[in-house]
Amino acid sequence: MAQWMIWMAVAGVLVTLEIFSGTFYLLMIAVGAGAGAIAAYAGLDTPMQFLVAGVVGVGATIALNRSKLGKGSRVVAARDPNINLDVGQMITIDLWQHPVGGRATARARYRGALWDVEYIGAGVAQAGVHEISEIRGSCLLVVLPSQKNHSQALSQPKR
């Protein structure tokens, strides 16, 4: 079997593995293996084939990392309704307990289970319908439906 065929087989295996991993980095290494196949087909010796494959693979990986595709989105799953379907849902709070750390807490039934609830909205917590703004573990962070935008600023992690 010719060396360029071996390089193409390696590239094919890397592309197959990339499909299962879901990242583009193995694809960039596969591009490097493809460049190694071209170098082998051009008649370069084995060390030069590895050098070409390595340089192209590393260069493609660095280019991907610096591109928009390489930067993962900074979405916080706890408050993204596209990821966490409970965000944005309404919950009825009958009674708030004494504030803990400056915020009111409660226990409420939601989806057939009792949840800890913490009020993160502006003002004093009052009984009634609230909107789930974020979920942290088993605690629902809620606001009044009209305070949704204000609560996102309050629930931002401090850096």
pLDDT, tens digit (0-9, with 9 covering 90-100), for 49-67 = 999 999 999 999 999 888 8
Neighbours of 11 (CB within 10 A): 21
| pLDDT for the residue numbered 151 | 46
Structural fold of domain 77-154: OB fold (Dihydrolipoamide Acetyltransferase, E2P) (2.40.50)
Query: What is the spatial distance between Cα 4 and Cα 42, in angstroms, rounded to a whole number?
Result: 9
Confidence class for position 35, pLDDT limits 50, 70, 90: very high
| Total residues found in the chain within this entry | 159
| pLDDT for the residue numbered 124 | 79
| Range 7-14 average pLDDT | 95
Which helix (H) or strand (E) segment holds residue 143: the answer is strand 139-143
pLDDT of residue 9 exceeding 90: yes
| pLDDT for the residue numbered 104 | 86
Contact present, 62 and 103 (Cβ < 8 Å): no
Question: What are the residue boundaries of the structural domains of the chain, listed by start?
Answer: 3-66, 77-154
Query: What is the spatial distance between Cα 146 and Cα 99, in angstroms, rounded to a whole number?
Result: 22
Mapped onto helix, strand or coil, the DSSP state of residue 73 is: coil
| pLDDT for the residue numbered 159 | 38
Which pair of structure tokens corresponds to residue 125? 């917590």
Contact present, 141 and 156 (Cβ < 8 Å): no
| pLDDT for the residue numbered 134 | 87
pLDDT of residue 100 exceeding 80: no
Query: What is the spatial distance between Cα 46 and Cα 41, in angstroms, rounded to a whole number?
Result: 11
